[in-house]
Structure formats: structure tokens, C-alpha cells
């Protein structure tokens, strides 16, 4: 009888290419070197105390058992009302809104519910790092189209997206405002996407977690605004990003009833449901729309403070039209690879950044790194003082 060894008990990996993420590596290096961490995308300031109080009240009031699988009715109603007020589309709170354990779970669940083995999903790179593993777990095939860096910043070449469509294409994943580039989709982008999917059975996964961070007076072109696309789309958003509570891991998906029904089949056996008192607290807090309506102004001021400070360095600023990320071209400073430059910047300059090459399935070097400016003003000023030596 053969005795099993530890190595023989390990099954073939479902995600053989996945290792330690660059976010973990850079955050650990920043902590080791005592660097200002502008790498990983989360705020270093607290949320509104009124939100904490709303959640605490729900706990004290006994809202601590399982909620409905699809989410607390009051929260789903508040989400539906918000979408209708902002984007003019009504989603039925009972059949078309599902509360999720963060946007990453929402993305995984949407992909698992609609993508079957052998089908293809188009991924526009650079891309958030959960898309491809989710596609692979579903047995699908990612098909990559790269954004182009133009004078006005990163842009999606829709002619190349159209050329990537085949008879096996089931899903196109879009992300606006875009992580990591800070670009946003405009009306022309929406129309180009509609032209591509019209007359097909292609679905859309629209990652809109930074929906309230669009700057300079522009509006967020949510897929919810556009009936033709909304009818075939899973639209994902994040309370963590909107309310500065990334650790709460709570978001939602809006989708037509038939798509939501399939989404919920997977959601039920994925996480089943989401933290009860947080849902009740959010529902109460959403009665005041000011926190999300004022978010663009709040972050634009931080963006401008950070960009103004970087002007005195040799870093070339790329546009930041949305999100809380700022990309820079460092080619005037160094010819190191993006990963090595990020490590050098952390170790020698005391500021952590993320290489944009990490957002490609097959890393591509373009001499660009990403900073996060969702930080206290004093944190940003501390980082700028260090970067002034560049």
C-alpha cells in the first residue's frame, strides 16, 4: 500500500499562474521600509462616524441574524432609488438588485453564472486582477485587447474589441472609471460597445465601483443609463469604495430579472448572504445622498493637490479623469522595469507605487506606475516631499 505524501495530496492547481499579488508584495515592502504606501488602493482615513453609528444601532437593535439571501429589502430599495435618481433606469428592488460581499465576489459570481466551459470573455487590459482568475475558474477563455496610450490618455480601441469577437464570445468586461489608468468611458465609447453587441447574445459585466469619482464636470456613463446595454448587463458597484469602508466588503449587482435569477443561483451557494447589521446601517445612511454626490469634489481636490505637487518632479503625469489613482510615466527618471522601479521607489525614495505591468496577463512594460491618492492630505504631502527629490 502506497503512503500518501504531502505533495501527492495537493491537487493540480485550478489557478496555476496565480501567486502572491504585487499588491501584497509592495505593501509588505512599504511596511518593511517605513515608506508612504500609495500602492494599494484604500483610504488611510476614517469613514463618516454617522455610518458607524447606523451600523452600531442595527447591532444594538438585534439585526444580527441571517438576512434574506438577496439582501435586506430596505437596502435593495435604497440602491434601486439611487440608480433611478442618478441614471434614470428603474431596477426592481425585489428581482433585479442583489447585495454582495464586495465587488470581487459580485464579479466572480456574475462570471460563474453566465460563462460556460469553452466560451470566451473579452478582457480589456490593463485590467483589475480578479477578472482572469474568475474566467478560468468558470472554464472560460480570456481574450485580451489592450488599451492604447494616446495623447489624451488611455483609450479602448473598439475596432480591436470588435475584431476579437467570435462565435464563442459570451461576455465583454468593461471597467469605468478604470483601475489602474484613471480613464473614463465617454458617450462615444458606450455607442461603440452597443454597436459591437447589437444582434448578438453577448453579455456585459460593467465594473463601476468608482462610479462616484469622475472629475472636471464630466458625468459617469453608467451602463444603467443606456437601455440597450442595460438589458444585457451585470452592473457592479461597491459601498467600500463609495463610503471609505473597503474592509466591510459589501457591494451590489444590478441586472435584469432573468440575469439576476441566474446570478442568485450561484450567489446562494457562493456566500449565501451578506453581513446583516452593515446592510441595515447602509440602508439608513443612504437616506442622505450627499456623501456620494459630494465624493467627486472630495477626491478631485486630493487629485489636484497630488498632481500639483508632482509637477516639480521629472515624472510625467497621465490624465486622471476618474477613480482615486494617478498614473505617471517615469522614463525620464529611470530605465528600470516597472516592478523594479516600484521597488526602488519604495526602498530609496520612501514611497510605494504599483507597476501597471502587473495589470496585464502577459506583463507589458510601458514605463508607467500607479499611485493611490485616497489618503489624508498630510500623507500625500509627506509622499510629495519625498518624491520632490526625483
Q: Is 85 exposed, middle or buried (0-12, 13-18, 19+ CB in 10 A)?
A: exposed
Range of the domain at 10: 6-47+295-387
How many helical (H) and strand (E) elements, i.e. helices and strands, does the chain have? 16, 15
Determine the pLDDT at residue 164: 98
Residue 93 DSSP SS3: coil
Q: Which residue in 84, 134, 81, 89 sits closest to 107, CA to CA?
A: 134
Q: For residue 127, give the nearest of 161, 151, 87 by alpha carbon.
A: 161
Residues 97 and 235 in one domain: yes
Domain assignment present for 352: yes
Cell 475596432 maps to which residue? 159
- Residue 213 near residue 43, CB atoms below 8 Å: no
Question: 231 and 362: one domain?
Answer: no
- Please check whether residues 61 and 73 belong to one and the same domain: yes
Same-domain check for residues 311 and 287: no
Domain final residue, candidates 273, 291, 309: 291
pLDDT for 39 equals 94
| Number of domains within the chain | 2
Question: What pLDDT is stored for residue 6 in this prediction?
Answer: 65
In angstroms, rounded to a whole number, what is the distance separating the alpha carbons of residues 238 and 263?
A: 17
Do 217 and 365 fall into the same domain? no
pLDDT (0 to 100) of residue 343 = 96
Residue 19's pLDDT is 83
Q: How far apart are CA 314 and CA 328, in angstroms?
A: 10
Average pLDDT across each block of 10 residues of the chain; the chain has 390 residues. List them in order: 70 89 90 95 96 98 98 98 98 98 98 98 97 98 97 94 98 98 98 98 98 98 98 98 97 98 98 97 98 98 98 97 98 97 97 97 94 98 96
Cα–Cα distance measured from residue 55 to residue 58, given in angstroms and rounded to the nearest whole number: 5
The pLDDT value recorded for residue 3 is 65
What is d(CA 322, CA 185) in angstroms, rounded to the nearest whole number?
A: 10
CATH code at 132? 3.40.640.10
Q: Say whether both 222 and 321 belong to one domain.
A: no
Helices (H), the chain: 6-9, 22-33, 49-60, 73-87, 102-114, 131-137, 158-164, 187-197, 227-230, 239-242, 257-270, 276-285, 290-293, 295-310, 338-344, 377-387
**Shared-domain flag, residues 95 and 148:** yes
Q: State how far the alpha carbon of 149 is from the alpha carbons of 156, 164, 183, 191, 264, in Å.
A: 9, 19, 10, 21, 38
Q: Which of residues 291, 319, 347 is at a domain's end?
A: 291
Q: Is 369 helix (H, G, I), strand (E, B) or coil?
A: strand
- CATH number, domain of 308, equals 3.90.1150.10
CA distance 162 to 360: 20
Last residue of a domain, one of 258, 291, 324: 291
Inside any domain, residue 1: no
Q: What is the dihedral of CA 341, 342, 343, 345, to 10 degrees?
A: 80
Amino acid at each position: 500500500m502506497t503512503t500518501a505524501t504531502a505533495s501527492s495530496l495537493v491537487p493540480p492547481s485550478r489557478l496555476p499562474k496565480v501567486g502572491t499579488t504585487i499588491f501584497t508584495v509592495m505593501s509588505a515592502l512599504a511596511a518593511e521600509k517605513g515608506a508612504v504606501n500609495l500602492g494599494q488602493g484604500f483610504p488611510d482615513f476614517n469613514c463618516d462616524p454617522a455610518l458607524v453609528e447606523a451600523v452600531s444601532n442595527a447591532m444594538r437593535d438585534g439585526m444580527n441574524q441571517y438576512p434574506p439571501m438577496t439582501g435586506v429589502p430596505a437596502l435593495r430599495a435604497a440602491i434601486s432609488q439611487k440608480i433611478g435618481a442618478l441614471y434614470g433606469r428603474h431596477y426592481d428592488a425585489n428581482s433585479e438588485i442583489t447585495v454582495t460581499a464586495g465587488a470581487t465576489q459580485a464579479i466572480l459570481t456574475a462570471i460563474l453564472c453566465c460563462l460556460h466551459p469553452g466560451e470566451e470573455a473579452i478582457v480589456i487590459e490593463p485590467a483589475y486582477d480578479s477578472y482572469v482568475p474568475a474566467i478560468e475558474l468558470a472554464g472560460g477563455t480570456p481574450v485580451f485587447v489592450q488599451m492604447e496610450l494616446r495623447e489624451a490618455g488611455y483609450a479602448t480601441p473598439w475596432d480591436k474589441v470588435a475584431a476579437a469577437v467570435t462565435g464563442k464570445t459570451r461576455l465583454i468586461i468593461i471597467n469605468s472609471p478604470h483601475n489602474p489608468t484613471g480613464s473614463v468611458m465617454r458617450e462615444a465609447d458606450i455607442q461603440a460597445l452597443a454597436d459591437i453587441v447589437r444582434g448578438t447574445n453577448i453579455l456585459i459585466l460593467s465594473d463601476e465601483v468608482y462610479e462616484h469619482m469622475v472629475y472636471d464636470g464630466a458625468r459617469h456613463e453608467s451602463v444603467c443609463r443606456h437601455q440597450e446595454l442595460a438589458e444585457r448587463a451585470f452592473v457592479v458597484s461597491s459601498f467600500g469604495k463609495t463610503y471609505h469602508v473597503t474592509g466591510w466588503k459589501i457591494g451590489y449587482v444590478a441586472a435584469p430579472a432573468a440575469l439576476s435569477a441566474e446570478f442568485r443561483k450561484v450567489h446562494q451557494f457562493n456566500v449565501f448572504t451578506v453581513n446583516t447589521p452593515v446592510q441595515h446601517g447602509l440602508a439608513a445612511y443612504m437616506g442622505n445622498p450627499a456623501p456620494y454626490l459630494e465624493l467627486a469634489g472630495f477626491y478631485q481636490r486630493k487629485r489636484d493637490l497630488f498632481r500639483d505637487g508632482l509637477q516639480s518632479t521629472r515624472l510625467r503625469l497621465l490624465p486622471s479623469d476618474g477613480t482615486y489613482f494617478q498614473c505617471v510615466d517615469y522614463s525620464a527618471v529611470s530605465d528600470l522595469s516597472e516592478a523594479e522601479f516600484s521597488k526602488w521607489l519604495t526602498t530609496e525614495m520612501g514611497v510605494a507605487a504599483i507597476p501597471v505591468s502587473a495589470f496585464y496577463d502577459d506583463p507589458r512594460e510601458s514605463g508607467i506606475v500607479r499611485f493611490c491618492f485616497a489618503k489624508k492630505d498630510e500623507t500625500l504631502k509627506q509622499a510629495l516631499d519625498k518624491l520632490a527629490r526625483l
